[in-house]
Structure 1
């Protein structure tokens, strides 16, 4: 039986790890310091509690780090403080440069490091997600096999560390920024009383985030995670000489929703909160 450790089981991490469990893996997690919601999630997915990070690193063959991007390097530091000679998969939305730093941190151990990126919704009986993997071919293939036939469609990429992260941020650069632009556009239209006309225009097109106003509160609730991710997008763009203004601006807009972490706002409240003075906006 392959033993998988997941750090830490948020909505995406727990759902991905649960798919490996469906294929017969035992999945460990560390309850110390975790919230009640996380503990309930781990129980729901049938994850096994470890006594601490020491037991997890000792027993796990594969460790999955799937967390908000701002914590990716801290998690790697935490793991690297313990002996580990398995496969460490960083599945976070971080730039190739950040991924290189994670790889260097894990170089303190005997682990094989795989760059991973998850694209899509948390996998379930009705939804699938893609897990892209790059890095050492044998290690990436081993991780991909953990998810064979599950709702996680694992795909390996040639080219080494950084490729999976670059793919994720290439997608995020459009997906998340366009969600933010849709919210700002709708907020402006509402301020001038033309929101119905804007919706009419948007609905006349085949697809448009502008027509998905019900998603705006979700953007507000997730901006505490999405903002740092857009910061990573900005870093990735700068690294290759591309303009990072839109990504940085999107992070600044999201900072106006910092106090709405994991909230359940109405559309009206989410739009009102965009009028905050932005005192926490990143510089």
Structure 2
């Protein structure tokens, strides 16, 4: 039986861990320093707690890091201090350059470092996200095998570390930024009393995030995670000589919603918050 460690059981991490558990893996998580919400999610999904990171690293064959992108390197550094000897998968929305940093941190001790990227919502009966993997062939295949037959669809990409991260951020740069732009456009129309006319225009198009106004508060509530992700997307664009201004600007907009962490407001509150610049 493969022993899998999840860092950490947020909404995505707990659900992904549960899918591996359903396929026969023993799934552990580190309870030290985690919130009551994390502990409740882990309990609900049947994940087994370890006392601390030392115990987790000592017992696990594979560790998957699923955390806000702003914390990805910090989490990897903590694992590196434990001289973890197994397979380490960073499945966060980070730039290939950030992924390379993590590889450098862990390569001295880890059996392998695998680049991972989750595209889609947390897995459930109705939702089947993809888990893209790149890096050393055999370790990537080992990780993929943990999820075969589950609601997480593993896809191994050819090429080394950075491929999965680049794919995730290429998708992110459109999917998340377009929702930010739709919200800003609606806010501008609302300020001038023409929001219904704007929606009427948008409905004539085949698809438009502008017609999905119910998603604006959800975007605001997720801004604390999405802003660092778009900063990583900007870094990825810059590394290949592409303009970063759109990603940076979208991240700046999201940062105005940072205080709404995981608390979807009423749409009026979300729009009002856009008028308030964060304190420097």
Instruction: Compute the TM-score of the two structures, normalised by the length of structure 2.
Output: 0.98
CA distance in 1, matches of 2:132, 2:61: 19
Is this contact kept in 1: 2:87–2:110, CA < 8 A?
A: no
1:144-200 Cα distance to aligned partner (Å, 9 max, x none)? 011001100000001100000000000000001000000000000101111111111
1:78-127 Cα distance to aligned partner (Å, 9 max, x none)? 00111322110000000000000000001231330000000000001111
1:48-80 Cα distance to aligned partner (Å, 9 max, x none)? 001111111111011000100011011011001
Is this contact kept in 2: 1:97–1:162, CA < 8 A?
A: yes
Q: Does 1:239 align with 2:228?
A: no
Is this contact kept in 2: 1:189–1:195, CA < 8 A?
A: yes
- Number of aligned residue pairs: 280
Per-residue deviation at 1:201? 1.3
CA distance in 1, matches of 2:100, 2:235: 13
Which aligned runs of 4 or more in structure 1 are off by greater than 4 angstroms? none
Q: RMSD value over aligned CA atoms?
A: 0.8
The equivalent residue for 1:255 is: 255
Per-residue deviation at 1:31? 1.0
CA distance in 1, matches of 2:51, 2:279: 41
**Which deviates more from structure 2 when the two are superposed, residues 11-20 or residues 103-112?**
103-112
Is this contact kept in 2: 1:128–1:152, CA < 8 A?
A: yes
1:14-60 Cα distance to aligned partner (Å, 9 max, x none)? 11111100101011001111111111000011000011111111110
The equivalent residue for 2:3 is: 3
Alignment of 1:1-283 (within 5 A): 1-280=1-280
3-state SS in 1 of match to 2:89: strand
**Which blocks of at least 5 consecutive residues in structure 1 are unaligned?**
none
CA distance in 2, matches of 1:76, 1:34: 17
**Which blocks of at least 5 consecutive residues in structure 2 are unaligned?**
none
CA distance in 2, matches of 1:277, 1:250: 14
CA distance in 2, matches of 1:18, 1:193: 47
Is this contact kept in 2: 1:58–1:83, CA < 8 A?
A: no
Is this contact kept in 2: 1:178–1:209, CA < 8 A?
A: yes
> Aligned pair in 2 of structure 1 residues 85, 277: CA closer, same or farther (>3 Å)?
closer
Per-residue deviation at 1:204? 1.7
Per-residue deviation at 1:277? 2.6
Instruction: Compute the TM-score of the two structures, normalised by the length of structure 1.
Output: 0.97
CA distance in 2, matches of 1:31, 1:110: 22
3-state SS in 1 of match to 2:93: coil
CA distance in 1, matches of 2:84, 2:39: 25
